Chain A
Amino acid sequence: LAEAKEKDEKEKEKKSSQPVPIRGGSPKLGGSFHVFGPTPGGSFDPIDAEPSTITDFNGFVGLAYISGTVQRTDKRTREVRTLPMISSDMRFMTGVFRGVDSRVHEGTFALV
């Protein structure tokens, strides 16, 4: 019972230390998804748009749209194909943030 209570408290603590999404979002996605896509020439959002998906944040960020190829194997048929990966949006945010509990926490996050 004590173990279950401890697990429950850890879960509550984890939820309360969750970061808060940025306000608003890209008009290209209708505005309800809390993300912007800075791009050269503003083809998606202006190049100086917010790269972080977390608000009340102070730290390091990285953003990249990456292309390449991947070899995919079908687990059932064993068919192997080489496929293009195009402009995969990969980001990180690491630093301090104010969580949903209004307290400041440290954390590291990836957008995949």
Chain B
Amino acid sequence: VDVYEPSSGAQIHDLNPSDYHPTGLFWTIEIPEDGIEVNLGKGHASMEAKRVPIFDYGNIGNALSGGAPRTPGVVSFRVVWSGVNQRVNIRNTDPLYGGFAGNFVRNTAQMEWTAVTDDFTFVSAPLRTSSSNFAEIGEERNGSFFP
């Protein structure tokens, strides 16, 4: 989750669950299965989790490379994907970007969230006030499951 200073445009909060330098699973953490709902036919999905442990790194540079102190905290969020702008079937064999296949729906997403760190509390505006510049949901296979 990335929060910015409006006057300068500088990033001032970068909340993610990874230890730096995040060379293993990237900003990825296990959450309860019942927090996810997916209906590809309707172009709908949702993700909800509560009190996920994170660190506030301040900005992405510090999140990737360390160098400045981080602050522990927790974040709770609800993300909702909806609509069908485009349906795509991808079989990507590109040696850099690929190695997976699947069916995807490109649509829109919105989010509401709260967080608490040692220094700040955060309460987002309601879900309906947020917007996405890219969103997709899908069903995919990669690695040893890649056909």
A residues apposed to B, CB below 8 Å: 18-25, 27, 29, 32-36, 38-40, 45-76, 83-94, 96, 98, 106-112
Contacts and interface: CB of A to CB of B under 8 A. Distances in A.
B109 A90 contact: yes
B19 to A, nearest CB: 13
B24 A21 contact: yes
A58 B115 CA distance: 31
Contacts of B22: 33
B84 to A, nearest CB: 14
Given A46-B97, A62-B47, A112 B142 contact: no
Contacts, number: 247
Contact of A27 (B4, B24, B88, B96): B96
Contacts of A22: 99, 142-143
A64 B3 contact: no
A33 B32 contact: no
Contacts of A85: 1-4, 124, 130
Contacts of A59: 139-140
Contacts of A93: 28
A64 B25 contact: no
Top-6 shortest CB links A-B: A68-B130, A64-B109, A56-B143, A55-B143, A64-B135, A35-B26
Contact of A71 (B36, B122, B132): B122
Contact of B144 (A50, A98, A106): A98
Contact of B110 (A45, A66, A74): A66
